[in-house]
Amino acid sequence: MKVGIYCDSGINGGHEEMLKRFMLALVACAHIETLDILVPTANEPLFRYVNDLTRAHPKVRTVGLSYTAESLRGNLFALLRMIRSTAARLRVLQLDKLVIAQGTIASGIAGLFAARYARTIAVSYLPLVDDAPVNVGVGGKIKWLVKRVLYRVPNEYVTLNDHLRGKLKRLAPNARAMILENYVDDRFSRSTLTKQAARATLGLPDDGTTIIAHVGRLNFQQKRQDFLMQAIERHAGAFARTLVLIIGEGPDDARLRDMIEASPPLSACVRMVGPQKDVLPYIVASDTLVLPSAYEGVPLVMIEAVLAERPIVVSRVSGLDSYLPDALLFPAHDHDAFVRRIFAARDLTLTSLTSEFRRRFSREAFDAQAQNVVLHSGPSRHEGAQVSPKHSDVLAK
């Protein structure tokens, strides 16, 4: 079987990290003859990783893309050119399937449409699934109609859990949807690093100060670091002997810094430490982690925290209540409940939950699932191109 992987993201974040693990699982599959990986040359960390993989494994071939999704945004003519050129390249490669990394259904669309034009089975990998908007204007309704069309384009989906699969089946009833859960390096559950040692290594106080950490991309729309700041300001007294660590980088870095500098309660307890190559010491050093996101897939930091036996308080969104107990969940817009959960979580025992996560999110389970979803029998290359819905059928839904 000839398989391709397509990722045009200029970002090297958590989604790309899972894609790398997917690549390794497919490299190990004896039934895959060649693995062509299409990634932007401009995404230097990802492109370097794929090149290293190519040098280490004869079945892997690197295909450099001259663009990123970000460079095409808002430029319809450039997008159309890249769809055509990528489709021409796919015809030469003669792949049986192309796995397209999609953070959302609107990302990676150059690869998605190129696969369909090249008559290659298109497999959408891990897109977050939108809900129908409410109380939006004409522009919002048009965007939703466009997204509904896009959901009908892939032949197959690889998603993270039953919650997301159910949403996909409603939006794309004719597409096969399969589950591939994340895996996390077992060093998070086998580390001998203690809280005291981690704090000493990182120069953090170990004098009774409560340490709370947020690990993730600085993006208010999704990760809602601004919601966390609002919660701190509303409950400044509760955070009097607390240090809140913000670990990561992203488009809202400057806005968050300005917010902290302008607020005495935030300046007193919030510290931005930037992106870190290894977040394990920060997780171990923390009493509680927080993730007040507006939407998620299955966040790696949630799994990492539980494996390290550290509680993580998460907003009740995107089916995350199927992973965590009620004591670690809060209503997404309730600042008061959020703060109560943060400080109560310090006393929770996570032994049984950690054991469950260690089994559920193991490398062995992931590799078996990854190979199964790609090798899953489907239509031939030519049949795969025939099943795309006609425009009239899509718009009638």
DSSP states of 107-124: SSHHHHHHHHHTT-EEEE
Q: Could you tell me if 232 and 264 are in contact, meaning their C-beta atoms sit under 8 angstroms apart? A: no
266 vs 244: CA distance, rounded Å: 9
163-211 pLDDT, tens digit per residue, is 899 999 999 999 999 999 888 888 998 899 999 999 999 999 999 999 9
Select from 79, 52, 75 the least CA-distant residue to 65.
Answer: 79
Fold entry, domain 187-358: Rossmann fold (3.40.50)
Select from 292, 294, 295, 289 the least CA-distant residue to 163.
Answer: 295
Q: Could you tell me if 171 and 129 are in contact, meaning their C-beta atoms sit under 8 angstroms apart? A: yes
**Phi, psi of 9, rounded to the nearest 5 degrees:** -70, 140
152 vs 168: CA distance, rounded Å: 10
Helix or strand or coil: residue 38?
strand
pLDDT value for 192: 94
Q: Could you tell me if 115 and 83 are in contact, meaning their C-beta atoms sit under 8 angstroms apart? A: no
pLDDT value for 182: 84
pLDDT value for 377: 56
Q: How deeply is 124 buried, as exposed, middle or buried, from its count of CB atoms within 10 A (0-12, 13-18, 19+)? A: buried
Residue with tokens 């021409």: 88
- Which residues have C-beta within 8 Å of that of residue 348, sequence separation ≥ 6? 311, 327, 328
Q: Bridge-partner residues for 315, per DSSP?
A: 330
Q: Could you tell me if 290 and 213 are in contact, meaning their C-beta atoms sit under 8 angstroms apart? A: yes
Q: Which CATH number fits domain 2-183+364-386: 3.30.420.40, 3.40.50.2000, 3.30.830.10, 3.40.640.10?
A: 3.40.50.2000
Residue with tokens 């190990």: 28
Q: Bridge-partner residues for 274, per DSSP?
A: 247
Q: Could you tell me if 317 and 295 are in contact, meaning their C-beta atoms sit under 8 angstroms apart? A: yes
Helix or strand or coil: residue 96?
coil
In eight-state DSSP terms, residue 133 is P
Helix or strand or coil: residue 235?
coil
- Divide the 397 residues of the chain into consecutive groups of 10 and give the mean pLDDT of each group: 97 89 94 97 97 97 97 94 97 97 93 96 90 85 93 95 91 94 87 96 97 97 97 97 97 98 98 96 98 92 96 95 96 98 96 93 90 72 38 30
Predicted TM-score of the model (pTM): 0.79
Distance of CA 378 to the CA centre of its chain: 26
Q: Enumerate the CATH 3.40.50.2000 domain ranges in the chain, comma separated.
A: 2-183+364-386, 187-358
Q: Which two tokens stand for residue 117?
A: 């034009």
**Phi, psi of 314, rounded to the nearest 5 degrees:** -130, 145
107-140 pLDDT, tens digit per residue, is 999 999 999 999 999 999 988 888 888 888 898 8
In eight-state DSSP terms, residue 104 is B
369 vs 303: CA distance, rounded Å: 18
pLDDT value for 81: 97
The alpha-carbon radius of gyration of the chain (Å, integer) is 22
